[in-house]
Chains A and B, each alone.
Chain A
Amino acid sequence: MSDEKILEVKDLRTSFFIEGNEIKAVDGVTFDVPKGKTLGIVGESGSGKSISALSILQLIDSPGEIVGGEINFKGQNLLDYSEAQMRKVRGNQISMIFQEPMTSLNPVYTIGQQIREALKIHRGLDKKDGTEKSIELLELVGIPSPRKRVTQYPFELSGGMRQRVMIAMALACNPELLIADEPTTALDVTIQAQILELIKELQDEMGMSVVMITHDLGVVAETCDYVAVMYCGKVVEYADVKTLFKNPRHPYTVGLLNSLPRSDVDQEELIPIEGTVPAPHEMPDGCRFAPRCPFATDLCHSELPNLDDVGEGEQVRCWIYTDEWDGDPEVKVYEPEKRTSED
């Protein structure tokens, strides 16, 4: 983990203030993105993964507000930037692609007009040069007959094509960091394979760093170098991708892997995580996962563990891995043989 970090998020807090209540959507999130690598942020609905991503670009609208922390991009804390300075970062040095290519494109402008806009704002390209560059970008993302496509409207394109257009727009200014928020969730699996491959190829070509936000552990395994697992607004585990899948430590991570039906091996049974995610206004005092955790002790229910280093560049937020652990000292959180029977 001596690599250079392009992004360091420290103790980020983003809350929503609704009817006098503070809902802590992102509650002290810390993670790094090494330069040129892909960090996966994985978690279920309501874990705060998307809000974390939106916070990086300060795209949080009222009643939401970033209430604390640091977002260091190439050593500069973005939270110190003015709105005008942020505007120069967005779409230029840091770009974002969203889940819904249908709703994130403007239906009344042509594809060409939408790509040109970013080129005009950040690079000052005029219409003619902008159009040429747009065609080049569409070609780069594998859109057939790009010269025709620049004059078309979003509704004339399929879902996969629209996502390619989104990627072309995001890449228009050669960003150093690309944030992809569930970029393939709305797409069919054969199209998903195309898009993920495209992002990877472009990353290799342009040396971009990527933050990949997803709920799909398959996508994580295939595209990410490092992974942050989020639960209820907090990072519960951070590790490189091979360690995370081979030796998951947090009971929540293990629970996710155990409940995942897999297409590549036969499974005897799925072991679900019991219970449900607590409502945002009823967060438990101790570990957020304690009410659903099969190993939870009194300590877990009363006090929140820290995100501690447990190995080289690996962190976990769980009492089991601390000296204070008061439960079964021999506890085995992960038993791979229980999960799958390889054919």
Chain B
Amino acid sequence: MSQKKELLKINNLKQYFPIKGGVLGRTVNNVKAVDDVSFTIYEGETVSVVGESGCGKSTTGRAILRLDDPTDGTIEFDGTDLLSLNKKEMRKMRKDLQIIFQDPYASLNPRMTVRQTLNEAMEIQSAVPRDERNDRIAELMETVGLQPHQADRFPHEFSGGQRQRIGIARALSVNPKLIVCDEAVSALDVSIQAQVLNLLKKFQNEWNLTYLFIAHDLGVVRHISDRIIVMYLGKIVEIGDTKSIFENPQHPYTKALLSAIPVPDPEKKTERIFLQGDVPSPIDPPTGCRFHTRCPFATDKCAEEVPELRNEDYMTDGHAAACHYIKAIESGEHQPTRETSKVRDV
């Protein structure tokens, strides 16, 4: 691991969105979308951030590109502190730092042809000299599996999967180092999703691209990631390499999340951990461990003390979970305090 170059380093990132209220429009409270999150991404790897709605995964991705300005913390990209840059410098920086959005229908300008869209990206970043741009566009179209002559069409003339490829072509057009894929394949049908995932993998191998993959589909995540970050209500609850997270999850939330995925095999017996209730509001998150209101193993301590990310001796390097009881749960010493699990019959 020490050989690898740190490409993106996030320290104590906080992103609060104020809630205005009252006659004077004062800030009455904050939505703590991301609350003290730190992690590092190394060059050439794919790190996925997973979690349910409202866990702060998309907000984290947006903060990295400074599409929202973070409340606190530092974001270091390739040695540069992104939060110290002014708007103009940040725009230059986005040459190396691109994003692919979830909705291929909303993220392309309907009045611009694909050629204009790609041209604009290259123009803003002066990534490619003007006289080479048409060749570059033809090359990009072919790379993402479209015909070069389709570049003169408008977005509405393409299908959802094709539009997502255009989004990818736009991100690639400026030769970025890091691409944030915010639910980039979620809107696609599985047959098309597989095409796009294979494409992303191919580009990574060819150009040593780094991906921050934000997704809720854990099948996709297992397939594409080297490492995984699990978030719950604005905090990282577990981080580790893909194998460790899927085969040896430690945090009770990760275990419940993994067990909840419907398995496409009708003859596989699965144990399902049912969580009670819904995710609490990020406006007034629970004290202590934020998961304690739904956790099968919660005690009084969980309601009071915020658990730190910890790595126990039996866990792999770089695998850590934020729970007071991981070791005691693993050894069977700490038993569930409420009944939640159920084996699915086949």
Contacts and interface: CB of A to CB of B under 8 A. Distances in A.
A269 B198 CA distance: 8
B195 A222 contact: no
Contact of B278 (A161, A242, A273): A161
Interface stretch (B6-14, B134-142, B264-272): B264-272
B261 A260 contact: no
Contact of A261 (B160, B223, B344): B223
Interface stretch (B27-35, B67-75, B212-220, B330-338): B212-220
Interface string B169-194: 00000000000000000000111111
Contact of B263 (A160, A197, A264): A264
B194 A264 contact: no
A221 B260 contact: no
Contacts of B197: 261, 270
Contacts of B237: none
Interface string A112-147: 000000000000000000000000000000001000
A86 interface: no
Contacts of A255: 191
A270 B194 contact: yes
B191 A256 contact: yes
Number of chain B interface residues as a range? 35 or more
Most buried by B among A144, A191, A245, A270: A270
A216 B261 CA distance: 11
Given A261-B219, A264-B263, A270 B198 contact: yes
Contact of B264 (A44, A190, A192, A217): A217
Interface string A170-206: 0000000000000000001111111011000000000
B156 to A, nearest CB: 12
B219 A260 contact: yes
Given A44-B189, A259-B190, A222 B260 contact: no
B256 interface: yes
B127 interface: no
A281 interface: no
Contact of A242 (B159, B267, B274): B267
B2 to A, nearest CB: 27
A290 to B, nearest CB: 15
B161 A241 contact: no
Contact of A197 (B195, B266, B274, B279): B274
Contacts of B263: 218, 221-222, 262-264
B79 interface: no
B262 A219 contact: yes
B267 A246 contact: yes
Contacts of B267: 242, 245-246
Nearest to A340: B265
A110 interface: no
B154 interface: no
A106 interface: no
A239 to B, nearest CB: 11
Given A218-B261, A272-B198, A190 B52 contact: yes
Given A44-B189, A191-B278, A262-B219, A257 B264 contact: yes
A126 B172 CA distance: 63
B262 A272 contact: no
B344 A222 contact: yes
A61 interface: no
B65 to A, nearest CB: 25
A323 to B, nearest CB: 29
A189 B218 contact: yes
A54 interface: no
Interface in A138-159: 144, 158-159
Contacts of A256: 190-191
A218 B262 CA distance: 4
Contact of A272 (B194, B259, B272, B277): B194
Contacts of A223: 262
A207 to B, nearest CB: 18
Contact of A158 (B161, B246, B247, B278): B278
Nearest to A241: B266
A188 B279 contact: yes
B274 A215 contact: no
A277 B159 contact: yes
Nearest to B256: A190
Given A245-B266, A264-B265, A192 B194 contact: no
Contacts of B159: 276-277
Nearest to A262: B219
Given A44-B190, A221-B265, 12 more contacts: A190-B256, A190-B257, A192-B260, A193-B262, A193-B274, A256-B191, A259-B190, A261-B223, A263-B218, A267-B223, A272-B191, A276-B161
8 contacts: A189-B260, A193-B259, A218-B264, A221-B265, A245-B264, A259-B191, A261-B197, A343-B247
Closest 6 CB pairs of A and B: A218-B262, A259-B194, A272-B194, A44-B189, A273-B191, A188-B52
